[in-house]
């Protein structure tokens, strides 16, 4: 776990801030109408709501794949509504994204997929080898490091995707249905992984439909409905230590 600890990157205020954000695609209706929201540092939120409520859109704003049609968006204390493209790329290196459909690169081995963010950031190859091997161990995939995604099971791909999302030691982790393709045991293991990362100082947002899973963790919920967001208390008040599955 030592590899996930790193010096604080020195921003003050919230990890993510949305102020009256609206988002529409082309001339379609607004997916998000008036979202104001603050994600503090070292927080953990579930993102819930019915299908089509805009969970994926909200996340894509946060990982800077889209810019809001109106309103203000800050990330790590920086206004990103008008930031240059190059600056957005730099900010993306401080966050990790886990996609519902993994988006692994099929022509690369599991190892190279996980190593990608480090190599793009220009990290030296010795560090890449050490950190990626350690991380693959941590997610239990060391023997699959040379396997290509097509040969991996859904759960294994999911873990590769998570490893890729966290290898850069991000300050913000965004996960879209990260447990959607795995059985309950693996789902709990993956959740435990996110909880660990949260304890190490990252802000975590997990979009999910899995209510029983949400109910097992004492984290607040961002509830999206009809393009607007409300913050709901945790489904359970139990401390996470009692529900956590041992790694």
Partner 1 sequence: MFGIRSDLPLKRDTAGRFVLWLVMVLVFMASLAVTVNSYIGVLLNDWNRSVTGTLTVQVPVMDLGEKGAAPTVGKILDVLKRHPAVAKAEAVPRAKVIALLKPWLGESDVIADLPLPALIDVELRTDEPEAVAAVTASIKTAAPQAVVDDHRVWLNRVMGLAQGFSVVAMTIMILVTGALGLTVVFATRASLAEFVQVIEVLHVVGAKDGYIAGQFARRALLQGMLGGAAGLALYAPALALVAWLASRVDPEILPNAALPAAHWLTLAALPFAAGLLAMLTAHITVRRALSAKV
- Cα of 78 vs its chain's centroid, Å: 19
Rounded least distance, CB 70 to partner 1, Å: 16
Question: Applying CB under 8 A, which of residues 11, 22, 72, 93 lies at the interface with partner 1?
Answer: 93
Rounded least distance, CB 72 to partner 1, Å: 17
Rounded least distance, CB 85 to partner 1, Å: 6
Sheet of 30-39: strands edge to edge? 30-39, 16-24, 70-75, 78-79
Question: Applying CB under 8 A, which of residues 9, 25, 69, 107 lies at the interface with partner 1?
Answer: 107
Q: Which residue's CB is nearer to partner 1, number 206 or number 214?
A: 206
Rounded least distance, CB 160 to partner 1, Å: 12
Q: How far apart are CA 89 and CA 78, in angstroms?
A: 13
- Cα of 12 vs its chain's centroid, Å: 20
86 scored as a contact of partner 1 (CB under 8 A): yes
Q: How far apart are CA 64 and CA 60, in angstroms?
A: 6
Identify the burial level of 133 via C-beta atoms within 10 angstroms of its C-beta, where 0-12 means exposed, 13-18 middle and 19 or more buried. middle
Contact indicator for 78, 91 with CB cutoff of 8 Å: yes
Q: At what angle do helices 184-199 and 154-166 cross, to 10 degrees?
A: 10
Q: Taking CB under 8 A as the criterion, which residues in 156-215 touch partner 1?
A: 164, 168
120 scored as a contact of partner 1 (CB under 8 A): yes
Q: Taking CB under 8 A as the criterion, which residues in 10-69 touch partner 1?
A: 63-67
- How many CA atoms are closer than 13 Å to the CA of 10, on its beta-carbon side? 1
127 scored as a contact of partner 1 (CB under 8 A): no
Q: Which residue's CB is nearer to partner 1, number 164 or number 189?
A: 164
For partner 1, the binding residues (CB under 8 A) are 63-67, 85-86, 88-90, 92-93, 97, 103, 105-108, 112, 116-117, 119-121, 164, 168
């Amino acid at each position: 776990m030592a590899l996930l600890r790193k010096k604080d990157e020195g921003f003050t205020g919230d990890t993510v801030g949305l102020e009256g954000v609206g988002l529409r695609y082309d001339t379609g209706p607004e997916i998000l109408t008036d979202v104001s929201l603050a994600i503090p540092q070292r927080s953990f939120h579930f993102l819930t709501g019915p299908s089509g409520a805009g969970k994926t859109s909200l996340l894509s704003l946060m990982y800077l794949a889209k810019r809001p049609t109106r309103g203000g968006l800050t990330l790590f204390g920086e206004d990103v509504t008008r930031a240059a493209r190059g600056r957005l790329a730099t900010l993306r290196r401080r966050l990790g994204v886990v996609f519902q459909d993994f988006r692994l690169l099929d022509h690369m081995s599991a190892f190279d997929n996980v190593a990608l963010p480090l190599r793009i950031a220009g990290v030296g190859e010795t560090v890449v080898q050490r950190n990626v091997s350690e991380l693959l161990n941590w997610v239990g995939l060391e023997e699959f490091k040379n396997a290509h995604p097509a040969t991996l099971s859904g759960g294994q791909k999911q873990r590769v995707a998570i490893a890729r999302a966290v290898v850069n030691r991000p300050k913000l982790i965004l996960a879209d249905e990260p447990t959607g393709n795995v059985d309950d045991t693996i789902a709990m293991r993956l959740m435990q992984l996110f909880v660990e990362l949260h304890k190490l100082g990252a802000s975590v947002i997990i979009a999910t439909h899995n209510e029983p899973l949400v109910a097992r963790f004492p984290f607040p919920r961002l509830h999206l409905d009809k393009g607007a967001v409300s913050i709901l208390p945790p489904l359970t008040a139990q401390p996470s230590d009692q529900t956590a599955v041992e790694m």
